[in-house]
Each structure stands twice: as C-alpha cells, then as structure tokens.
Amino acid sequence: MMSLPFLEAMTGKASAAETGETPVRMVCVGNNFGYVPDLFFPTETGTDYVLPGQLEVLERHREEFSILSQLDHGQEGVGGHGGVHAFLSGILSKNSKGFAEANITVDQKAAEHVGTATRYSSMQMGCGTSIGNRLSWTASGAAIPPVEDPSTLFSLLFQEPEAKNLGLLKEAHIRQKSILDLVKTDADRLKRQIGKTDQEKLDQYFTSVRDLEKRLTQSQAWLEKPKPKVDYELPAEADDFDFVERLPLYYDLIALALQTDSTRVITLEVSGIGNNSGGLPLTKGYHQLTHHGRVASYIEELSIIEKVHTAAFADFLDTLRSVEEPNGKSLLDNTMTLFGSGMGNASSHSNKDLPLILAGGGFKHGQHIRFEKDKSRGTQTMACNLYVSMLQRFGMEIDQFNTSTGTLTGLEVA
C-alpha cells in the first residue's frame, strides 16, 4: 500500500496547506507561430519605453513584467517550425544525445523539484488545432502531450471519480506498474545480449519507463485524497467554443489549479485557431498570415490574432493579481509566468531573437532589457540563462541548465 503521508516523508516535502508556506509557481505559455517582431519589441530599453501595438493591452501591468529581447538558443535552436519544440529547453530533440538530461524543458526541471508535493507535479495544456510541436519534454527526451479539452482539464482538477471508477483506476495503476516491472526484467535480460548502440537505445527507453512509473506512483497516492472544491462553472459547450472564447478558459483553469495547489508547474501550448478562423474576422489562415512577407494586409490580420493572445494574457495577470496569498502577496507575485514563443519570426522561419515576456514571480520588473550580440565573435546571452534564473527563483540550487552560461544579467529578485 502507498499513501501520501509516506511519500511526503520520503521526499521531505508537504503540501502548502499542511506547511503553511506559500509556494513559488511557474507558468510557461508558448505560441507556436511567434509574434511579428516589429509589433512586439519596444524601440527603447530600460524603464522608459513605449509599448508597441501588440502589447498596449499590458500597460496596466507595466510594473509587473519585463520584456526580454535578443535572447534565443544560438545555432542549437535553428530549425523553423521544426525548432519550436526547443523553446523551453534550448536543445533540438535530434541533438539531445550529448546532454546529460537530454532536451528536458525548464518546466519539467521545476516539476522534478516539486515531486509529490502536489497532485500533479506539472500539467500540460493545449489550445489550438495543430498541437504537435510540444512544449514539455522529460529528462529521457520524451515529449509530453498536452490535454486539449477544457472539460477534461476541469475533471482532472476538480471532479471526483465515481466509486466504481475509483476502484478501476486503482486496479489499472497496479496492472500498469506490474507491466513496468515485467518490462524491466525482460530488458535487463536482453541488455546482456545486445551491442553498445542498442544498449544506449534501451537505456533511453527504460528512462522513459521510469518516468512513467513515477507518474503512476504519484497518481496512485493522490487517488485517496479528495480534490479541492471551487466556485467555478465551466460552460457545458466549452470544448466546442471558438478559439477566442476558449483561450480564456485555459487561463481560468491555470489560475484555479495554482490557487488550490493542485500543481505548481503548468505549460500552455497555443497553436492553430480553427478552420473558421477561430471566430475572428480573417480572410486567410493563421499559418498563411504568419508568412506575411511584410505584406501590410497580412500583418494587419495577423495582428488581430496576436492581440487576442496578449489580451488573454493581460486578463490572466489581472486574475493572478486579484488573489491574495497567505504571505500577504498576490498570486502574481508568487507565480513567474513566461509568455512567448520558440519562433522568432515565422515569416522568415527564424528561431532567432525569441519574443519573451516574464511576469510576476517576485522579480524586479517594469523594464525592457535588450541583450546585445557580438556577431563577429559569435557571442550572445543564451535564453537558457533566463531559465537558470527562473529555476533558482523556484527554489532550486542550480547554476547550469542545458545551453546556459550563467544566470540572466539584469533580472533581479525584488
């Protein structure tokens, strides 16, 4: 038998409700199609800058976020749409073999730190119609698929399974774990009979098996613990809403998940907007518009979509700011939220100069920091330096993350 108190004693961690401590959270929002650079990055740097058109809606939160420009993953992140998956890791999956933790993403590194302290060590959400680039990757190099239906997310967070289904879930966990044990026995036997290359492949596979086993064990322990009750009603037709109506629902669920300490790490992957243009007055498809070639009419329509993204994000910050936490700060103060993309400029298929905004989380904000590059020497500040700073703020004793060269200069804790 396994129970939550035993697991918490083993890990040395307990829930926020039991310790009385206010945890730090991490939210990463990634738009697979990027943003028009000229409409995203301010011309001025420092605190006295003018928000460009796409970001004007964020003016009310000016002191609660920082705009970070000219950060990317160097040559490691090159790959057009195929390179977007390196957004939160800095490493293309095909190049992950030479790294100690493959192409693990910053959210999954943080999730390892959380362990079993929450029902879900992390949650992956997806809003769109072409989910596939994947924001979250484990230390074994496996992509974690996001949950796309708001109704499923709400059920995972707040709806108790029926008694008969609870029994089935418990049995399923036992069966799946026993299958994993059997696979391990067979794998160890096979490993003694194969060559080095196949052994490496088998090791990578079995690391994935161990990742799954951890998730199964944690989920089994939390089956006995009641889910939190919230005063929130998800619309019955939420799964069928147009993009414009559906996007805010994910942000609502993220805020509730954080507030109830159901998880402390969340990613939201945003991609296509639907065959009917997501309810927006558009004449062309989203993907086609991103390859605008500086055609004014394309950029004008593309800006309509991008303003939906930034407006929903601004409203999300409103929600986080409105929730007071036990430590006297707001949920926004205690939640670092990264908003951006692994695509720097979709029109030219570039993964350079990623659009990045970091909000909340206890950092000093209200600034636009431009990180200069020396093209003649090939030197630059890596985006993974930002992730080191985020992980340290999350409570981890860490000074290296994938392609980082240190922490991010200019980003200080308040």
CB-based contacts of 169, cutoff 8 Å, min separation 6: 161, 223
- Residue pair 64/373 in contact (Cβ under 8 Å)? The answer is no
The per-residue pLDDT for range 237-250, each reduced to its tens digit, is: 999 999 999 999 99
Q: What is residue 347's predicted lDDT score, i.e. its pLDDT?
A: 87
Rounded to 5, what percent of the chain is helix, strand, coil?
45, 10, 45
pTM for this structure?
Answer: 0.86
Q: For residue 282, what are the CA distances in angstroms to 182, 205, 279, 311?
A: 54, 45, 9, 18
Given a cut of 70, is residue 288 above it in pLDDT? yes
Average pLDDT over residues 354-358: 97
Task: Give first-to-last CA distance, the chain, whole Å.
Answer: 44
- Per-residue burial over 176-213, b = 16 or more CB atoms within 10 Å of its CB, e = otherwise: eeeebeeeeeeeeeeeeeeeeeeeeeeeeebbebebbb
- Residue 141: pLDDT band with limits 50, 70, 90: confident
Q: What is residue 35's predicted lDDT score, i.e. its pLDDT?
A: 95
Which residue from 11, 31, 32 is spatially nearest to 121, judged by alpha carbons? 11
Given a cut of 70, is residue 9 above it in pLDDT? no
SS3 assignment for 283-312: CCCHHHHHCCCCCHHHHHHHHHHHHHHHHH
- Residue 295: pLDDT band with limits 50, 70, 90: confident
Q: What is residue 75's predicted lDDT score, i.e. its pLDDT?
A: 74
Torsion 352-358-363-369 (CA) sign:
positive
Q: What is the DSSP letter of 133?
A: S
- Residue 132: pLDDT band with limits 50, 70, 90: low
Q: Could you give the 3-state DSSP secondary structure of residue 270?
A: strand
Given a cut of 80, is residue 213 above it in pLDDT? no
Given a cut of 90, is residue 58 above it in pLDDT? yes
- Residue 19: pLDDT band with limits 50, 70, 90: low
The fold for domain 4-158+231-393 equals: Alkaline Phosphatase, subunit A (3.40.720)
- Residue pair 28/135 in contact (Cβ under 8 Å)? The answer is yes
Given a cut of 50, is residue 3 above it in pLDDT? no
DSSP secondary structure string, 90-105?
SS-GGGGGGSTTTT--
The per-residue pLDDT for range 69-78, each reduced to its tens digit, is: 999 998 766 6
Percent of the chain with pLDDT over 70: 82
Q: What is residue 394's predicted lDDT score, i.e. its pLDDT?
A: 97
Contacts of residues 90-93 at CB distance under 8 Å and 24 or more positions apart, as own/partner, are 90/382, 90/383, 90/384, 90/387, 90/401, 90/402, 90/403, 90/404, 91/402, 91/403, 93/137, 93/141, 93/143
Given a cut of 60, is residue 284 above it in pLDDT? yes
Average pLDDT over residues 128-154: 85
Q: For residue 155, what are the CA distances in angstroms to 14, 214, 230, 273, 399?
A: 24, 22, 12, 24, 38
Q: Could you give the 3-state DSSP secondary structure of residue 13?
A: coil
Q: What is residue 116's predicted lDDT score, i.e. its pLDDT?
A: 87
Given a cut of 50, is residue 13 above it in pLDDT? no
The two beta strands, 356-359 and 335-340, are antiparallel
Average pLDDT over residues 273-284: 87
Q: Could you give the 3-state DSSP secondary structure of residue 137?
A: strand
Average pLDDT over residues 121-149: 85
The per-residue pLDDT for range 303-344, each reduced to its tens digit, is: 999 999 999 999 999 999 999 999 999 999 999 999 999 999
Given a cut of 80, is residue 404 above it in pLDDT? yes
Give the span between the Cα atoms of 225 and 227, in whole angstroms.
7
CB-based contacts of 387, cutoff 8 Å, min separation 6: 88, 90, 106, 109, 401, 402, 404
The per-residue pLDDT for range 80-104, each reduced to its tens digit, is: 888 899 999 999 988 888 788 889 9
> CA Rg, the chain, in Å?
22
Give the span between the Cα atoms of 58 and 11, in whole angstroms.
40
Given a cut of 50, is residue 1 above it in pLDDT? no
- Residue pair 58/75 in contact (Cβ under 8 Å)? The answer is no
361: left (phi over 0), alpha (psi -120 to 50) or beta: left
Residue 339 pairs in a beta bridge with 29, 357
Average pLDDT over residues 61-66: 98
